[in-house]
Chains A and B, each alone.
Chain A
Amino acid sequence: MSEYYRDADHLFEIYGYFLDKVLSHEKIGPKMSKSGIIIKFIYTDPDCEITIDLKNKPKEGYYGTFYLGPCDLKEDVWSKQSADHSHRFWHGLENPIASVTRGKVKQGGKITAMLKLLPVVRPTFSQFPIILKEMGYDDLIVKKK
């Protein structure tokens, strides 16, 4: 049972809002698009997936495109984790190395290409709680221990 998400629609609501902001962000968006890859995030509990396309031309005002739920794009890299783990990751509270070595995150495909994104997404960690607050989900903000 997820600690933070009721179901897949709930997750899509939050991540959709978050990704919309990130992929149109004037500083973060261009850096993400430089990676030129398609990433599929596979979540468990609730089971669902999100694909981020940083390879094909996005719509005006955006630096990438995201798809909530299954899509036909073939990913370059995939990352599988629990929705709760992802939620804490976007708060900057998960150690990315330990996550992989402990098996909390499984990955495949061009992993090194995805590594490139890590320093780039770092500034979004401070944005995620702000976005949750904007959406009225103050109760989902994870406090540092």
Chain B
Amino acid sequence: MSGNFIKIATIDLTSGSIGDYPVNSNYYREYIGGSAFSARLFLDLASPDVDPLSPENPMIIMTGPLVGTKFPGTSRFTVCAKSPQTGIWGESSSGGAFGSVLKRCGLDGLIISGCASSPVVVQVIDGNISLKNAGDLWGLDSFETIDRLQEIYADHKKLKSLVIGPAGENRVKFAAICNDKANYLGRVGMGAVMGSKNLKAIVVDGNQTIPLVDEVGFNAARKSAIEAARESIVSMSLNQVGTASAMEIGMMTGDVPIKNWSVGLVDELGEELGGNTIAETILKKRKACFACPIACKPEVEIKEGKYAIGTAPGPEFETLGTFGSMTMTLDLKAVSKANDLCNRLGLDSISCGATIAFVMEAREKGYYSDKDLDGLNLDWGDGDGVIELVKKIAYRQGFGDKAAEGSASLAANLPKEAEAFLVAIKGLELPMHDPRAFHGMGLAYMMSNRGACHLQHSCQAIEQGSVSWPQAGLEDEYAGIESEGKAKMVYLSEGIGLMANNICICHFAQWAIGLELTLDGLNTATGYGLSLQEFIDIGHNSWLLKRSLNNLMGVTSNDDKLPDRILMPLEEGGTEGTVPDEELLKSEYYQVRGLDTRGFPLDQILEEAKLDFLIPMLNQAKEAS
């Protein structure tokens, strides 16, 4: 069994003790790595009712078996804990190079618990772990912190770091973790968890070789995967301007939400916020994660004016949506500035932009006065007001302190009618893909285990037509605005997508190289000898494990619902007059997934997945509910 070091370190920040976790080696084959492995560890380590911002909430950093091997797209890693934003299972992932370097320290993962008495940096150099006083790093923004760390560790040229900015220090519920400036663990507030532990940064440097079972076979699989990735249409579209290349098609199909999900079409959107406009105006170059042939990360340059950011990571599709179309800020430079602030201050640009769009609509409807908003001008399209609120959120100043709790919290403190324009599921703001354009995505959002998410499955690629995987039981093509039959599609896409998350391969890379080559890479590295069906089944088991964990954290069928706004048809645009059939989607899905009416997995399903150890705990939770 290889591809891993079978070594996970524990760091207790309260006592300062460091050790090796006595991990059950069977977990490697059963859960592969990444977030599923972390969910299994979480069950061993903590109580589901743990306070997310308490020392007892373990922050688990995990890699996967291909991380560090240079197999295309496998630079990813996950950070998991109970989420302070949603109160349920929390997981976030990122690319870049941190995961690969952590793995090359001879570690598959880190379990960080406790809370340091004063801010610290965790240092992992060639596998040796120690704690350092964070000193003057506390209070610096993410970029300043990384620059300072590079000065401190000047002897380690390949040092990589994870850091939090002021938002994480201030425990903003959607605080992100910054991974070498251009990459973020954005969703569900893992930056706040890190801040709650007084942990400012983690630095890693190592150069061990990842053990492989079949090195010759692996190299052949890797070579084929690189060739496939280079020839793929997915890669070709992404390496022009990154994910922003989907903006124009998204505007045509109705995938891009506008004005807090209330408008179907704005003529100027393509011209102002499209991928082409980025390419023609501010794009400087494209960058890649470690060993990735796709290179989808845009770097942009804005040197002058009030939105100057110098040369910096540019806005991607999600951010163009949340800060652009959602707030009606049809100004690429203003959106880039908001994106840059999120990067520097350490905020999830999806939740942040979506929360501000919610505030704008609440203000328009009279729920907030100008005084409530500290005099900020938050008219639709006012980029300056948006930018000011981003800063206030990160530092929890004035109204920013309330907004730092997220849109679901804001809505809960307004009259019930405000829920009509809250667009979140299980407390997490929806990503920028409108389920009215692709009904399956609505179901996928409903059933995602970290709240509304477009990366807990491969639904986007399958339903929008970027991939065709009939060998996995999927249809060759799906009509976006149909609900019937989508439950099976979502179910299968979860098995596939969650395996990508377990392996820690980028979804784009998996789309580009396909299922068989991904499986070849995994099998040659680990020697697991999985068939395609076994591969997908592990993904399904991962879903069941996390769902059960969520059930233990209080999730029931009542939480599997689409926001009212998404069930309101739009009058024009690509989704004109159509909404997902929530009841049909949910009932078909419950049947195919094997959930009871309360939303708990059936005992038989858990037994088949060899997750029967969960049954007694779930029975207790059912009785309690």
The residues of A with any CB-CB pair to B shorter than 8 Å are: 27, 31, 34, 95-102, 112-113, 115-116, 118-122, 145
Contacts and interface: CB of A to CB of B under 8 A. Distances in A.
The 9 lowest CB-CB distance pairs between A and B, nearest first, are A98-B465, A119-B251, A119-B270, A118-B252, A97-B465, A115-B248, A95-B465, A116-B276, A118-B248
B573 A122 contact: yes
Contacts of B276: 112-113, 115-116
Given A34-B271, A101-B467, A112 B245 contact: yes
A99 B477 CA distance: 10
A27 B245 CA distance: 24
Interface string B51-64: 00000000000000
Given A97-B464, A101-B467, A119 B479 contact: no
A24 B594 CA distance: 56
B468 interface: yes
A119 to B, nearest CB: 4
B466 interface: yes
B271 A102 contact: no
Interface string B275-288: 11001000000000
Contacts of A122: 251-252, 265, 573-574
B267 interface: yes
Interface in B221-262: 233-234, 240-241, 245, 248-249, 251-253
B477 A102 contact: yes
Given A112-B245, A119-B274, 9 more contacts: A31-B267, A34-B271, A95-B465, A101-B468, A102-B476, A112-B275, A119-B252, A122-B251, A122-B265
A96 B255 CA distance: 13
Contacts of A121: 252
Contacts of A112: 240-241, 245, 275-276, 279
A95 B253 CA distance: 8
Interface string B417-451: 00000000000000000000000000000000000
Interface of B: 233-234, 240-241, 245, 248-249, 251-253, 265, 267, 269-271, 274-276, 279, 464-468, 476-477, 479-480, 573-574
A23 B270 CA distance: 19
B480 to A, nearest CB: 7
Given A101-B467, A102-B465, A122-B265, A115 B275 contact: yes
B480 A95 contact: yes
Query: Of residues A97, A99, A100, A113, which shows the largest number of chain B Cβ atoms within 10 Å of its Cβ?
Result: A97
9 contacts: A31-B267, A95-B480, A96-B252, A99-B465, A100-B233, A119-B252, A119-B274, A120-B270, A122-B573
Contacts of A100: 233
Contacts of B480: 95
B249 A97 contact: yes
Nearest to A120: B270
A118 B270 CA distance: 9
A26 B252 CA distance: 20
B464 A116 contact: no
B432 to A, nearest CB: 15
A97 B236 CA distance: 13
